[in-house]
Amino acid sequence: MKHRKVRPSRLEALEDFLSRQRRPRRGGLPSVSLFSGGGISDLGYAFAGFDFVVQAELDTDRAKLCSENFPGSEVVVGDVRERWRDVVRSYERASGERPALLSVTPPCQGMSSSNPSRGKVSRPDGNGRNERNLLLLSAVPVIERLRPACVVVENVPQVLLRTVRLASARRPRGLVETFFERLNGYAAFAGVVQMADYGMPQVRRRSVLVLLDESLPCVTELEKSALLPWPRPTHSEQQNDGYAPWVTLREWLPSRGYSPLDAKTAATARDDCDPLHFVPSYDAERYLWVSQIPPNSGRSAYQNDACPRCGTRPVEEGLVRCPACRGVMVNRPYVKTRNSKIRLVRGFKSSYRRMRPDRPAPTVTTASSHLGSDYKIHPWENRVLSIRECVDLQTIPRAYSWEWATNNGHRYLVREVVGEAIPPWFTYLHGRILRRLLEGKVSRRFLAEREPRA
């Protein structure tokens, strides 16, 4: 009797992707990336069959990581606005055909939801970062010269609302609108994707802009069928319509086999077998804040309600002193001011808080080690997430080498680079879609659909 082959679940497919030890093969479709960082986002496209010939990165340390992981690529180090001609010349020397893909991932600090001025996206000068917001437009001359078959821009969702002030225009204009209008001969698509909808154990919303050469056969079919040139989601927050449920931390973390860590001491805060599996250790006071948050509760240290001095419970939330004994609630985040007064640390309700085990991880950011940042404490252990756990949540395969950073004392750089990246699992899935489109294959089964108009 023939046994039907069982297709692996999406979680198993992701774990298989993470376990890849070998770098992608060379000889794929020639490609270029701008604002490459450490090349992490490019890695997914590379595994899907795109070969990065030239990459560009401003920061020298990130460029070194990129060079280590893409030894066949030329990394142009410097400001793209000043060195775009070098990018073009480097590509033209290396390849005799136009690029299949140009990946553009400009820094998002001027538009990120974690930016204090995030509510001012409609004001071009509202957060004083107009120059940084204009970085996307620096890709235009590279696109005009190289004419790639496909251009992908990924950024925070706020980029779709950003207005900018251009020297050549009297009034502020939409950034994305301006970008699209400057590029003739391309069909433009824009939308927002949620990474958890692709089976990743992390909530992370990103905007996706795709430009396809309008002469490609797939363009007419995409527009006629109201399809989008990126992958159809496979998971959903609400389990309905045949989608799998989001992957939760309760499901994900135990499956990875991490050694338990504890921030109480330097010795218990590290795993000697894995140079990336370690966390900061805390003094007794700060450790108390974390350790008294009940495991798996999703609560914050501000909600620790037992007085550590007299045991009175519950002490009303928001108080810095116990009403019974007047002792300081040292198990809540507090500071002593210059005039020796005691007050609670001012912060968001999501700071000094455990992640919820019944949900995916919150967005992995460059501040993944900061207790006072957004939902950064491990769901049940007394610590933040290790770099290794962040690497896995960002779906970075083992094939990516951190050797240069770990050997040169740049482990904090690893946290930053990891937090900046677009998860390679998504870029891998997206890369496979793009390859099919470039080959003229359009399938509703694999492609995302446009939302119906109201």
Half-sphere exposure (Cβ direction) of 106: Cα atoms closer than 13 Å = 22
Q: Is-contact 150 210, C-beta < 8 A?
A: yes
b/e burial code for range 102-132 (CB count within 10 A of at least 16 → b): bbbbbbbebbbeebeeeebbeebeebebbee
**Cα Rg of the chain, angstroms:** 24
In eight-state DSSP terms, residue 354 is: B
Q: Would you state the pLDDT for residue 451?
A: 75
pLDDT along the chain (454 residues), means of 10: 42 93 93 97 98 98 97 96 97 95 84 46 50 84 98 95 75 88 95 96 97 97 96 89 91 95 98 96 97 97 96 96 97 92 89 97 95 94 98 98 93 94 97 97 93 54
CA distance 31 to 270: 39
The helix or strand, by DSSP H or E, that contains position 88, with its residue range, turns out to be: helix 80-94
Residue ranges covered by each domain of the chain: 10-243+423-449, 259-385
Residue 146: closest CA among 185, 108, 180: 185
Nearest Cα residue to 379 out of 358, 393, 394, 365: 358
Identify the pLDDT of residue 454.
40
Q: Are 233 and 343 in contact (CB under 8 A)?
A: no
Look up the CATH superfamily of 10-243+423-449.
Vaccinia Virus protein VP39 (3.40.50.150)
Q: Are strands 342-344 and 29-34 parallel, antiparallel or unpaired?
A: unpaired
| Torsion angle, alpha carbons of 285, 286, 289, 293, to 10 | -130
Query: Which residue bears the tokens 């080690």?
Result: 369
For residue 122, the model assigns a pLDDT of 52
Residue 430's nearest CA partner among 160, 242, 151, 224 is 151
The per-residue pLDDT for range 6-31, each reduced to its tens digit, is 334 557 899 999 999 999 988 999 99
The DSSP-derived string for 268-312 is TTB-TT-TT-B-----HHHHHHHHTSPTTS--BGGG--S-TTT--
Helix (H, G, I), strand (E, B) or coil at 404: helix
Look up residue 432 and give its two tokens: 């496979």
Query: What does the pLDDT read at residue 170?
Result: 66
Rounded distance, CA 237 to CA 246, Å?
6
- pLDDT, position 123: 53
Q: What is the pLDDT of residue 187?
A: 97
**CA gap 294, 381 in Å, rounded:** 10
Closest CA to 381 of 357, 360, 364: 357
Report how far apart, in Å, the C-alpha atoms of 410 and of each of 59, 62, 75, 371, 387 are: 13, 10, 20, 21, 12
pLDDT of res. 128? 42
Q: Name the phi and psi angles at 144, rounded to 5.
A: -65, -35
Cβ–Cβ < 8 Å for 397, 424: yes
Stated length of the chain: 454
Q: What type of residue is 294?
A: P
